[in-house]
């Protein structure tokens, strides 16, 4: 038995399309999930859409259930929430999160889905992958009580990091972005906002998520002596220019990468991927994360939506895709 469904594919860089696909009934240990919402991670997905994944990163940047290969044709995406229709009895009827591309329904191993906790609306749950990135970054960063911390870049990832950091006791937190409209998002999250020229210096820790050379340079400039930048940006094939001739050496500053594809070494001995994702979903009981959803479109509009986002149109936060009526 099979069902006829539809999936979003990148035919070639800059050109997406909705394709008909055949989905089988689930086998032993599998579930059939009917998608309710998916989310577009603007930074990564627009780099994929425009064909800017470097060839030496093709394997590292594969999504868990990706089909095809970069630069295309490829079925890519990893923020999906749906309801289990067939399979494991304990999951039938449950809303679940899965690192699956944009598709109306799909079959995966039951171990590939994580139930959405009670109190987390399904639409908000599409952010789980982004909040998981924030959790991993803060395991890497290891902020301490009372730290002075800045997040540079108020996009989807930067806002998720700031929302989690805001829970830390005694932290003096500031969110910095060149777009003054991001002040409204920061206000909704209860976080202080500043334009780059007004950002406070002397920071113990800066998390950089703007994916620009200027943002990384400012992140270093905001640090107190022996402070550290945690670099979350992914630049694709773009070159990064950074001057290290100033205080970088004399103040013993540091830049350290954080990447969600590997569980932070600080926790890898005691936490796995499922633990990290379950924690992210539990944190999302807080309605503050609703501020990270910046637009809503139907599934059938996805080719035009991604083209627009890649061209710089629309907010730099999560774009929600709905599947009711497709």
Question: Of 192, 242, 233, 237, which is closest to residue 213 (Cα–Cα)?
Answer: 242
Listed in sequence order, the residues at least 6 apart from 167 whose beta carbon sits closer than 8 Å to its beta carbon are: none
- Give the number of other Cβ atoms within 10 Å of residue 109's Cβ: 14
How far CA 317 is from CA of 21, 253, 320, in Å, comes to 29, 30, 9
8 A C-beta contact, residue 155 and residue 42? yes
C-alpha span between 236 and 243 (Å, rounded)? 20
pTM (global) more than 0.95: no
Sketch out the chain's domains with CATH numbers: 2-127+284-322 (3.90.180.10), 133-257 (3.40.50.720)
pLDDT 10s digits, 194-250: 999 999 999 999 999 999 999 999 999 999 999 999 999 988 888 899 989 888 999
Chain mean position to CA 108: 21
Q: How far is CA 213 from CA 153, 179, 208, 210, in A?
A: 12, 16, 10, 9
Q: Express each pLDDT in 131-185 by its tens digit.
A: 999 999 999 999 999 999 999 999 999 999 999 999 999 999 999 999 999 999 9
Inform me whether the pLDDT recorded for 287 exceeds 70: yes
Q: Which residues pair with 173 in a beta bridge?
A: 149
- Is the separation of the CB atoms in 63 and 20 below 8 Å? no
Cα(314)–Cα(277) distance, rounded to whole angstroms? 28
- Reduced to 3 states (helix: H, G, I; strand: E, B; else coil), residue 288 is helix
Q: If residue 48 lies in a helix (H) or strand (E), which one and from where to where?
A: helix 42-49
DSSP string, 62-109: --TT-EE-TTSSEE----EEEEEEES-TTTTT-EEEE---SBSEEEEE
Report how far residue 194's alpha carbon sits from residue 177's, in angstroms, rounded to the nearest whole number.
Answer: 7
The structure tokens 């959803």 sit at 293
pLDDT of residue 252: 96
Distance CA 17, CA 24 (A): 22
Residues 249-258 pLDDT 10s: 999 999 999 9
CB 36, CB 104: distance < 8 Å? no
**Contact yes or no for 231/181 (Cβ under 8 A):** no
Residues 6+ apart with CB under 8 A from 323: 34, 35, 36, 37, 38, 82, 104, 298, 299
Beta bridge mates, 39 = 320
List the one residue out of 92, 64, 95 whose CA is nearest residue 78.
64
Tokens of 57: 């990163």
Residue 316 has pLDDT above 80, yes or no: no
For residue 206, the model assigns a pLDDT of 98
Contacts of residue 300, Cβ cutoff 8 Å, sequence gap at least 6: 18, 326
What is the chain's mean pLDDT, rounded? 95
Measured in residues, the chain has a length of: 326
Distance CA 278, CA 282 (A): 6
What pLDDT is stored for residue 236 in this prediction? 82
pLDDT of 85 strictly over 80: yes
């Amino acid at each position: 038995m099979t069902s006829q469904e539809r999936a979003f594919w990148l035919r070639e860089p800059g050109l997406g399309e909705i394709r008909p696909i055949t989905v089988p009934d689930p086998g032993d240990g599998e579930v059939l999930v009917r998608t309710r919402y998916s989310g577009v991670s603007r930074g990564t997905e627009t780099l994929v859409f425009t064909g800017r994944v470097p060839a030496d990163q093709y394997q590292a940047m594969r999504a868990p259930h990706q089909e095809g290969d970069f630069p295309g044709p490829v079925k890519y995406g990893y923020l999906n929430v749906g309801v289990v229709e067939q399979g494991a009895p304990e999951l039938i009827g449950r809303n679940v999160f899965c690192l699956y591309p944009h598709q109306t329904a799909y079959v995966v191993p039951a171990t590939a889905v994580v139930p959405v906790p009670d109190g987390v609306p399904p639409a908000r749950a599409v952010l789980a992958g982004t909040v998981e990135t924030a959790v991993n970054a803060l395991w890497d960063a290891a902020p301490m009580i009372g730290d002075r911390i800045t997040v540079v870049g108020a996009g989807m990832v930067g806002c998720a990091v700031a929302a989690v950091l805001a829970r830390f006791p005694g932290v003096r937190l500031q969110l910095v972005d060149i777009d003054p409209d991001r002040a409204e998002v920061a206000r909704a999250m209860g976080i202080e906002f500043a334009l780059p020229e007004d950002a406070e210096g002397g920071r113990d820790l800066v998390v950089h998520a703007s994916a620009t050379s200027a943002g990384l340079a400012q992140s270093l400039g905001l640090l107190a002596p022996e402070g550290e930048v945690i670099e979350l940006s992914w630049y694709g094939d773009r070159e990064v220019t950074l001057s290290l001739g100033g205080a970088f050496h004399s103040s013993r500053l540091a830049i350290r990468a954080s990447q969600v594809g590997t569980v932070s070494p600080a926790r890898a001995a005691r936490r796995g991927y499922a633990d990290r994702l379950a924690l992210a979903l539990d944190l999302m009981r807080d309605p503050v994360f609703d501020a990270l959803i910046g637009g809503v479109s139907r599934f059938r509009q996805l080719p035009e939506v991604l083209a627009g986002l890649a061209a710089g149109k629309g907010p730099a936060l999560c774009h929600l895709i709905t599947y009711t009526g497709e």
